[in-house]
Each structure stands twice: as C-alpha cells, then as structure tokens.
Structure 1
Amino acid sequence: MTTTTKDQLLATGMGLLLQRGYNDLGIQAILKATGTPKGSFYYHFRSKEDFALQAIDRYMAEVHQGLDGALTDASLTPLERVRRFFEISRDKYGQDGHLGCMLGGLGQEMSGISEGFARRIEQCFSEIAGRLAACLAEARDRGELAADADPREMAELLLNCWEGAALRSRLRRDPRPLDDMLDFYFSRARSA
C-alpha cells in the first residue's frame, strides 16, 4: 500500500499531537519528523488548525474501526462487546506509551481556546456514545441490564469515566486506572 505525503503527515502528526498537544506542536516539528517540505504541508492543509481537525477525523476513523470490530462480534454478549471496545482502546494506549485518548487530550487543552475544536471533539464523543448506546440497548433488551436502564445515559457515563481514567493512566503511564474503571463500571452495570 502506497503512503501519500498527506497520510504520512497525519500519521506522524497524530503521534506528535498526542505527545505534545496542540499548542506545543509546531508545523516545523511535523515537517522535520516526516522530512516533508513546508510547501507540501500547505498543499494538504490550510493551517495548523486544519491539520489538527483532519487528524481528529483520522483518529475517529480508527475509533470507528475499533467500534465496528468490537460491537459486531456476535461471539460476545452485548456488554462483553462494549467492554471489548474499551480493552482494545486500552491496548492501543499502551502501544502509544499510555498517553491516553487524543480526543480527551485535545479537548482538555483546546476547549477553552477554540469553539471549533470544542464542537468537533464533543461531536466525536457523541458519535462514540451513540454507538455504545445502541449496543447497551441490546444488552438491556437481552436482560443483561435492568429493564429501566437508559442506554444513552449509561453510554455517556461510561465514556466520561473512561476519559477520566485515561487522564490518570497518562499521568501514571500505567493502564491500571483504565482496568479499575472498567471492572467497577461493568460490575455495577450488571447489578443495577
């Protein structure tokens, strides 16, 4: 498979965004890491902000791949599928040095600075929650959750807890906060 200059810039830039954040990442660092001339960057991206928003889109494509793989696995119960998505995410975070979720990191950094970033990241979280809620509704319908459980509310809570645990995992460079959160959430979800 041929990797285009744009793909290389985005792949490398996503890692740098995760490590450094938006404000500490200059275009020059991306160019140096990829060996790309400045003109090539501006051929593909109007600005650093455009680059970061396209990096978010690429990140979301990866998230949707993870959701597709986990949430459609018919060999697992609906609750197991939801948990599997987060386990896949935890493993990916480990490969990246336990730096956590790029959406969460950028959201924390940029939400007070850029309304455009805040809206886009919130939209991403809403998409994820929607996909999780559909699987949690199936879990409720199959009796894995209480009959009066609100799948959307449960999905939002799960995502909020995950993002907090991802921050703690990043601070400690340790997956334990993620595992502890999943154990707690799913033991409570089943008993509710």
Structure 2
Amino acid sequence: MTPESQEITTKERLLEAGLGMLLKHGYSDLGIQALLSETGIPKGSFYHHFSSKQDFALQVVDRYMQEVHQGLDMSLGNHALPPLERVRLFFELSREKYRREGYLGCLLGGLGQELSGVSETFRHKIEGCFNLIAERITDCLEEAHQRGELAADQEPRQLADLLLDCWEGAALRSRLRRDPGPLGAMLDFYFAVAAR
C-alpha cells in the first residue's frame, strides 16, 4: 500500500466514523478524542487531514452528499419508471437508509437545526446542499410536468422545495418517535396531492 492510499484510507475512516457520530450526537457533542478513540487513529493524523473540527464537519457533509447524489442517481436516473415514481423512489431509499441507522434522520437537517442560528458557514453550506438536491428533483418534476402528470399551474421548483421541507419535518418527527410512520404518511399525502 502506498503512503497516498494509506492517507486516503485514514481520511475516509475518519469521515465515515464522523458521519455516524455527527448523526447520532450532533456537532456540539462531537469530541475529537472520541472520534480518535473510535477509529484508533492518532491525533496528528486527524490534523494532517483537517485544520479544525469545523473543517472536519464540513468535509463530513461533503461525504454525506456523495451518498445523497448516489441515491439521486439510482432513483432519478431510473428511466424505466415515470418521473413521479422516480422522485418517490429517492425518498423511499432514504427512508430505508434511516431505518438501518435507527431513524436518526437526515444529517443535513440535524446540523441545520443545530448550527444555522450560530454559524453562517454551516448555514450556507447546508442550504447549498438542499438547493443541489432540490435542483435535481426539479429536473425530474419538470419532466412530470411536461408529461401532464402535474397540474399545469404547479411550478416544479416550488414543488421540489415543498417536498424537501415536508420531508425534513417528517424526518424530525420520525427521529423523535424512532418510527418510520411520519415519513410514509408524508410521502403518501404529498404524492396524492401533487399528482394529477
């Protein structure tokens, strides 16, 4: 193994562990020492890859977004399905991911709630991530609109933003209850209303 691949492996291990810890504990309760104990990685290696706890958390968000984009590619890119079914599939895949993680919800929503009032850096970062997701969903909803699957007066970008807003609220309720019920109810309601 080359030193470069070792560095990538170490960084990836830190990001992967950090993703789970941030999801479970949030930013304020994320201790660098706890992360190092979890991974068995020395402190110097952490600071070789990340300049600070904030830098680390921002890179964890980037790592999380890689997973989000994979889910979007898998669902929105499945042209065997009609566009509204592809959009719903993305959220159903997300619900399944939440189930595997114990219904801890969305990292973006959790960090957004925790940090948007105290950190402009995180507020801009997370809003930017939500905008990227909304843009991709909008493209699919545009296709549904063109096919007449949405009412003529419905604006795809507004529908995409509303869908994300509703999902994040349902994800919070799901986390509070440790129960998928709010996620499924929200999807059923949204797609019943959105579809023509």
Same fold (TM over 0.5): yes
- Pairing partner for 1:150 from 150, 155, 166: 155
SS of aligned partner of 1:4:
helix
Correspondence list, 1:26-37, <5 A: 26-37=31-42
Task: Return the letter of the residue paired with 1:177.
Answer: P
SS of aligned partner of 1:75:
coil
- Report deviation, 1:160: 0.1
- Report deviation, 1:147: 1.8
Q: Kindly indicate whether residue 185 of structure 2 is the aligned counterpart of residue 180 of structure 1.
A: yes
- Report deviation, 1:62: 0.6
Correspondence list, 1:8-19, <5 A: 8-19=13-24
Correspondence list, 1:40-189, <5 A: 40-189=45-194
- Pairing partner for 1:24 from 24, 29, 54: 29
TM-score when scaled to structure 1?
A: 0.97
CA distance in 2, matches of 1:128, 1:13: 22
The Cα RMSD (Å) is: 1.2
Task: Return the letter of the residue paired with 1:90.
Answer: R
The number of residues matched between the two structures is 191
- Report deviation, 1:46: 0.3
Moved over 2 A (4+): none
Which moved further from structure 2: 122-131 or 140-149?
A: 140-149
Task: Return the letter of the residue paired with 2:68.
Answer: V
Task: Return the letter of the residue paired with 1:7.
Answer: E
1:115-173 CA deviation, whole Å, 9 max, x = no partner?
00000000000000000001000001011101221000000000000000000000000
CA distance in 2, matches of 1:20, 1:109: 11
